[in-house]
Structure 1
Amino acid sequence: MFSSVLAAAVNHALEQSGWARDRLRPHAGKTVRFVVVPFDVALTVDEGGYVRPPGAGAEPALTVRLSPWLLPRLLLEEEAAYREVQTEGDAELAADVAHLFRHLRWDLEEDLSRVFGDVLAHRLAQGGAALARWPVQAASGIAQMWVEYAREEEPLFPKREEVARFLADVDTLRDDVERLEKRIARLEDQLGKG
Structure 2
Amino acid sequence: MLASVAIAPLNHLLRGESWARKRLQPCAGKTARFRLPPFLNLALTVQASGEVSTASSGVPDDAVFTLTPRLLPRLLAHEEDAYREIRISGDSAFAEEILHIGKNLHWDVEQDLSGVVGDIVAHRVVQAGDRLMHWHTETIRNLSQTLVEYLTEEQPLLAKPIDMHGLVQEINALRDDAAQLEERVIALAADRLQGNKTPL
Q: CA deviation at 1:8?
A: 1.4
Q: CA deviation at 1:81?
A: 2.4
SS of equivalent to 2:98:
helix
- Provide Cα deviations, 1:108-161, integer angstroms capped at 9, x if missing partner: 122123234546544543454345435567x59x99xxxxxxxxxxxx9xxxxx
Tell me whether 1:98 sits opposite 2:99 in the alignment. Answer: yes
Mapping 1:129-148, distance limit 5 Å: 129-134=130-135, 139=139
Residues 63 and 133 (structure 1), Cα distance of their counterparts in 2 relative to 1, 3 Å cut:
closer
CA contact (8 A) 2:73 2:136 kept: no
CA contact (8 A) 2:74 2:137 kept: no
| Equivalent in the alignment of 2:54 | 53
Q: CA deviation at 1:100?
A: 1.5
TM-score, normalised to structure 1, is: 0.62
Mapping 1:28-67, distance limit 5 Å: 28-38=28-38, 39-67=40-68
Rounded to whole Å, the distance in 2 between the matches of 1:64 and 1:127 is 30
Residues 121 and 24 (structure 1), Cα distance of their counterparts in 2 relative to 1, 3 Å cut:
same
RMSD between aligned alpha carbons? 2.7
Which structure has the larger Rg?
A: 1
Q: CA deviation at 1:44?
A: 0.5
For structure 2, list consecutive stretches of 5 or more residues without a partner in the other structure: 144-153, 155-200
Rounded to whole Å, the distance in 2 between the matches of 1:12 and 1:75 is 17
CA contact (8 A) 1:63 1:87 kept: yes
Residues 18 and 35 (structure 1), Cα distance of their counterparts in 2 relative to 1, 3 Å cut:
same
Q: CA deviation at 1:45?
A: 0.6
Q: CA deviation at 1:94?
A: 0.7
Rounded to whole Å, the distance in 2 between the matches of 1:91 and 1:121 is 39
TM-score, normalised to structure 2, is: 0.60
Residues 97 and 127 (structure 1), Cα distance of their counterparts in 2 relative to 1, 3 Å cut:
same
CA contact (8 A) 1:12 1:106 kept: no
Report the identity percentage: 44
Tell me whether 1:19 sits opposite 2:10 in the alignment. Answer: no
Rounded to whole Å, the distance in 1 between the matches of 2:67 and 2:134 is 24
Q: CA deviation at 1:75?
A: 2.6
Instruction: Give the counterpart letter for 1:15 in structure 2.
Output: R
Rounded to whole Å, the distance in 2 between the matches of 1:19 and 1:115 is 27
Instruction: Give the counterpart letter for 1:29 in structure 2.
Output: G
